[in-house]
C-alpha cells in the first residue's frame, strides 16, 4: 500500500493529465480520467454526469488543427487523502488563442474535486469549476 505522499503525487498526476489531455485534444484520455459515473460541473456550461455525457460535452469544443487552442494552468493544489477517497482544490488560470497566435482574455477560477482510487489510478468522481474572473472567451 502506498503512503500518503505517494497517493498525493498520483492525484497530482491525474490533475495534470486532465490539463494535458484536454489541451492536446486527447478527449478519450480526458474522459477516462473520470469514474464511470463521474460528474463534471462546468458552471454555466452545464453539469455532465457519466462518461457518455462527458464525451458529448467535448464534442462541442471548437478545435483548430486538432487542438482546442487553450492552456489550463492549475496550481496551489491542496489534496487530502482518506483511504480510497480524496478531495482536492486548486486554482486554475486558462489562456486561449483564436488560432493566429494572439491570446484572448481567459479566466481564473477554482476546481473542487472528489477523487476515488480504482485499481492503481485516481479518478475524478466529481470536478466542479468555479469561474471567479472571466474575460471574453469568444
Convert the pLDDT of each residue in 93-121 to its tens digit. Answer: 998 887 666 777 789 999 999 999 999 99
The Cα 78–Cα 17 span in angstroms is 17
pTM for this one? Answer: 0.92
* Residue 125 CB partners (closer than 8 Å, separation 6+): 34, 35, 37, 38, 39, 85, 114, 115, 116
Q: How many domains does the structure of the chain reveal? A: 1
Q: Identify the domain containing residue 47 by its residue range.
A: 4-134
Question: What band does 5 get if pLDDT is binned at 50, 70 and 90?
Answer: very high
Task: Tell me what the mean pLDDT of segment 114-135 comes to.
Answer: 96
Q: Is the dihedral of CA 62, 66, 70, 75 positive or negative?
A: positive
**Has residue 138 got a pLDDT over 60?**
no
Which domain CATH number covers 59?
3.10.450.50
Q: Mean pLDDT across the stretch 129-136?
A: 88
* pLDDT tens string 19-74: 999 999 999 999 999 999 999 999 988 999 999 999 999 998 887 777 788 899 99
As given in the structure block, the three cell numbers for residue 134 are 472571466
Amino acid at each position: 500500500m502506498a503512503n500518503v505522499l505517494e497517493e498525493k503525487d498520483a492525484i497530482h498526476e491525474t490533475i495534470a493529465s486532465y490539463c494535458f489531455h484536454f489541451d492536446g485534444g486527447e478527449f478519450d484520455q480526458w474522459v477516462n480520467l473520470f469514474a464511470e459515473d463521474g460528474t463534471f460541473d462546468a458552471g454555466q456550461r452545464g453539469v455532465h454526469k457519466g462518461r457518455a455525457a462527458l464525451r458529448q460535452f467535448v464534442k462541442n469544443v471548437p478545435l483548430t488543427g486538432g487542438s482546442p487552442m487553450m492552456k489550463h494552468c492549475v496550481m496551489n493544489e491542496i489534496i487530502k487523502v482518506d483511504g480510497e477517497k480524496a478531495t482536492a482544490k486548486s486554482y486554475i488560470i486558462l489562456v486561449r488563442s483564436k488560432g493566429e497566435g494572439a491570446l484572448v482574455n481567459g479566466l481564473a477560477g477554482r476546481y473542487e474535486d472528489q477523487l476515488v482510487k480504482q485499481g492503481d489510478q485516481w479518478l475524478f468522481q466529481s470536478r466542479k469549476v468555479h469561474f471567479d474572473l472571466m474575460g471574453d472567451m469568444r
